[in-house]
Amino acid sequence: MIDQAATDFEAVHGARPTGVWAAPGRVNLIGEHTDYNDGFVLPIALPHATKVAARRREDGRVRVYSAQGDGTITDLALDGLAPGVVTSWAAYPAGVFWALADAGHAIGGADLYVDSDVPTGAGLSSSAALECATAAALNDLYGLGLTAPEIALVAQRAENAFVGVPCGVMDQMASACCTEGAALFLDTRTMEQRHVPLDLEAAGLRLLVIDTRVKHDLGDGAYAALRAGCERAADLLGLEALRDLPAADLDAALERLPEELAPLVRHVVTENQRVVETIEHLDAGRTAALGPVLTAGHASLRDDFRVSCPETDLAVEAAVAAGALGARMTGGGFGGSVIALVETADVEAVAEAVRSAFATAGFAAPVAFTAVPSAGARRLA
Ligand code: ADP
Ligand code: MG
């Protein structure tokens, strides 16, 4: 796999790469739409990763090629990069060059060859994987000495300011900072992190990821509107962020809010609580107790935050009916993927129940796989 990336790099760019780097996709166990409210998240990195083979260039050119692209090299001048200039997929890696240079880091050009097995647009964060693998490569090629959280922040800036997607920081932090065998508990206000051991196999469990293969277009605009709604609610309540509303004050706060904002606030406050509850279960070795917390999180996203869709709702419902301990949509919503916590012996039956429910409903066939907590961004060779 590593040799393949190096060989493919050579075929495209005409020389051996200096190295190969990788950064994973992620699923978030719990803590959805909390990262732009200064709240808590708990993602794991997937075994699926984006590999970047790379080599410095001394002429200030940025030349990027993706095995998932259109078969051509995108060739850009580093000093010509600015938000809005690149509109193809290449904006993700180019944005990382731009964000590093804009932050004052002494970088030059590079040749990149990208190859990934992270499904794109499935809510599994192929975008963060691409950004973080690119940032990890440039960090080493130019000896920048960035830490994993610093790589994540550069990657997020690339996506926010260069690509133009107003995402929170969870995806990039997960891709850059996760470790094998653990979930990443992140406080998105302080950026404080804790790696919480998660050994599903030892608990007789598996995490089933179900990619519904749908992405509804309203997602992009809706995300910005939800984000703005949360900010307006925090303003009305006189808070810096919804993170600052104690659960004990929730009911009183809801009465002071307009009808359209109250459910958003209820989701964010209860979701932060669910992250804390999940951590308590994990610390106490009660892995199976995560199930009902996941399902409650889905109900909140469906009924209060309203970012689920018929496909994710059906996947959750079918998984739980077939014996999953719990299930929820993961990622921003409007399609994407669902996670289900399942006893090892039930994995196939639950996956089959979801496939069968989708077929009956006339939905496209979903793709299901099991995932273990895997490593964050790293150099492979
Ligand atoms: P997600 O991050 O959930 O997969 P996004 O819409 O945020 O979905 O990002 C997907 C986009 O990222 C793709 O449409 C493409 O532009 C870019 N991308 C991700 N991985 C690759 C890759 N391996 N090669 C080319 N582009 C990629
Ligand atoms: Mg993304």
Residue pLDDT, tens place only, 68-92? 999 999 999 999 999 999 999 999 9
Q: Which ligand 1 atom sits closest to the C-alpha of 68?
A: 24
**Ligand 1 atom, smallest distance to 120 CA:** 4
Number of domains forming the structure of the chain: 2
Question: Residue 152 domain-assigned?
Answer: yes
The last residue of a domain, from among 196, 213, 228: 196
Assess whether pLDDT exceeds 70 at residue 1.
no
Q: Is there a single domain that holds both residue 174 and residue 254?
A: no
Which of 64, 72, 89 has most ligand 1 atoms within 8 Å of its beta carbon, as the pocket-test mutant? 89
- What is the CA(89)–ligand 1 centre distance, in A? 7
187 with 291, same domain: the answer is: no
| Catalytic residue ranges | 171
| Atom 12 (ligand 1) nearest CA | 127
Phi/psi of residue 79, nearest 5 degrees: -80, 0
Do residues 122 and 248 share a domain? no
Residue whose CA is at the smallest distance from ligand 1 atom 7: 127
Q: What is the mean pLDDT of residues 238-252?
A: 98
Q: How far is the CA of 26 from the centre of ligand 1 (A)?
A: 13
Do 223 and 283 lie in one domain? The reply is yes
Domain-embedded: residue 230:
yes
CA of 50, closest atom in ligand 1: 23
Q: pLDDT tens-digit profile of 177-234?
A: 999 999 999 999 999 999 999 999 999 999 999 999 999 876 678 999 999 999 999 9
Q: Please compute the mean of the pLDDT values over residues 22-31 and round it to a whole number.
A: 98
Predicted confidence (pLDDT) per residue in 105-133, tens digit: 999 999 999 999 999 999 999 999 999 99
> Hey, whose CA ends up nearest to atom 18 of ligand 1?
127
- In ligand 1, the atom with minimum distance to the C-alpha of 159 is 7
Query: At which of 196, 219, 247 does a domain end?
Result: 196
Structural domain includes residue 338: yes
pTM above 0.85, yes or no: yes
Looking at the structure, tell me whether residues 301 and 312 fall in a common domain.
Answer: yes
Do 337 and 209 touch, CB atoms closer than 8 A?
Answer: yes
Q: What is the pLDDT of residues 49-64, one digit of tens each?
A: 999 999 999 999 999 9
Q: Which ligand is nearest to the CA of 48?
A: 1
Ligand that comes closest to the CA of residue 119: 1
Q: Ligand 1: distance of its center to the CA of 298 in Å?
A: 25
Is the CA virtual torsion 36, 37, 38, 41 positive or negative?
Answer: negative
Alpha helices (runs of H) in the chain, residue ranges in sequence order: 2-13, 91-102, 126-141, 148-157, 170-177, 219-236, 250-255, 262-283, 290-300, 310-321, 347-361
Q: What is the pLDDT of residue 220?
A: 75
Domain match, 280 and 349 both: yes
The reply to whether 218 and 275 lie within a common domain is yes
As a whole number of angstroms, the distance between CA 299 and CA 304 comes to 8
Quick one: 107 and 235 in the same domain?
no
Taken in order 29, 31, 35, 41, the sign of the CA dihedral is negative
Q: Is the pLDDT of residue 278 over 70?
A: yes
The verdict on 21 and 78 lying in the same domain is yes
- What mean pLDDT do residues 280-299 have? 98
Give the pLDDT mean for 137-143: 98
| Ligand 2 centre distance from Cα of residue 378 (Å) | 19
pLDDT at 55: 98
Is there a single domain that holds both residue 174 and residue 256?
A: no
Give the domain CATH number at 203.
3.30.70.890
Q: Judge contact between 307 and 33, C-beta under 8 A.
A: yes
Gap from CA of 123 to ligand 1 centroid (Å)? 10
Residue 216, pLDDT score: 86
Q: Do 178 and 239 belong together in one domain?
A: no
pLDDT above 70: residue 174: yes
Query: Which bound ligand lies closest to the C-alpha atom of 219?
Result: 1
Question: What is the position in ligand 1's atom list of the atom closest to the CA of 336?
Answer: 3
* Average pLDDT across the chain, whole number: 97
Instruction: Give residues whose Cβ lies within 5 Å of ion ligand 2.
Output: 127
Residue 138 counted as domain residue? yes
CA distance 345 to 358: 22
Q: Which residue, among 126, 145, 4, 136, has the nearest Cα to 69 in the 3D structure?
A: 126
pLDDT of residue 219: 67
Residue ranges making up the domain that contains 335? 199-371
Nearest CA to ligand 1 atom 2: 125
Ligand with minimal distance to 120 CA: 1
Ligand 1 pocket, residues with Cβ under 6 angstroms: 50, 66, 68-69, 89, 92, 114, 116, 120-127, 130
Cα(92) to ligand 1 centroid in Å equals 8
Kindly state whether residues 183 and 206 are assigned to the same domain. no
Most informative mutation of 8, 46, 126, 329 for ligand 1 (most atoms within 8 A of CB): 126
Strand pairing report for 61-66 and 109-116: parallel
